[in-house]
Structure 1
């Protein structure tokens, strides 16, 4: 076997052994993104400095919800679906983005960023964008959407992981009923 083939195989094995994180092609135990047309309900979430309204949501397993996210505040906010452990990990990524200048208090520091591959050298790559399928950033005065099909309960939260926002109380509960 040539050195080139060995290196190619080693790269493939390394890529397959990396943990699956929340990424555009990632899998989530609590559901998956869906097209807006498949939504059975629309829920408007107001984002202010520093709160969500409403503060909790009740959904049913199998339900597809279209979230309309309206940032009525003066700061950049995020709507991210996950559990507390996922939010804690994502907060570290968001802090790295803020420290690098890619994220400012009111928006994106560059044209875009992709932090789905954080921890794998993504911070040094050009053309990065925030594109996790369970998350959306909303700049002040803007509206965004996220549509999600919930599959099961998992102590879910919706949260803003912009540095300091979750800790200040910008988090809500999602109850998924069978």
Structure 2
């Protein structure tokens, strides 16, 4: 018994499709990129506005590498100081020492010792910056702006350090 010409064409097409599918499935799976590691940092967007950081809280995974994409959407200059208690105290003291006594006097730039610097980025209104950061594995950290008057206005953010797999990406 011979098949109609259309049935033979369908059989040939089916065999061809199966061959393609089988060939594709034999290829090795693509290499999985793990975000949050050196060379593939997880991106974290943070907006600095007048006296607040967004989002808040910021969830970071202990030991991961992140790239902070910072945008100052406020009308004033702001700083992004990320670090533990020692870092926050050092920057607060540096700003207090640099604050001029006169009303319109220009403050000298604040600085701290490199061994306690933490991460600090100073942004003018409308400015953007990107910076990579290695999240500590054991030390708790916080985020604050120590420019004169900003901390007193509440410019701090909660930073939650979680174990890998516990944070949403």
Q: TM bucket by the smaller chain?
A: 0.5 to 0.7
Pairwise CA distance, 1:170: 0.8
Q: 1:170/1:114 Cα in 2 relative to 1: closer, same or farther (>3 Å)?
A: closer
How far off its partner does 1:176 sit? 1.7
User: Structure 2 length as normaliser, TM-score?
Assistant: 0.62
- TM-score between the two structures when normalised by the length of structure 1: 0.59
Cα 1:141–1:68 shift into 2, 3 Å: same
Match runs of 1:135-154 below 5 Å: 135-154=120-139
Q: State the aligned residue count.
A: 122
Specify the alignment match of 1:87 in structure 2. 88
Counterpart of 2:111?
115
Distance in 2 (CA, whole Å) between partners of 1:92 and 1:151 is: 23
- The equivalent of 1:62 in structure 2 is 63
Rg (Cα) greater in structure: 2
- Aligned: 1:52 with 2:60: no
Aligned-CA RMSD value:
2.6
Change (3 A) 1:117 1:149: closer
- Residue number in structure 2 paired with 1:176: 161
Instruction: Name which of structure 1's ranges 132-141 and 67-76 shifts more when overlaid on structure 2.
Output: 132-141
Shift, 1:74, TM fit: 1.3
Greater length-normalized contact order (CA 8 Å, ≥ 6 residues apart): 1
Unaligned runs of 5+ in 1: 1-36, 104-108, 119-131
CA distance in 1, matches of 2:79, 2:162: 25
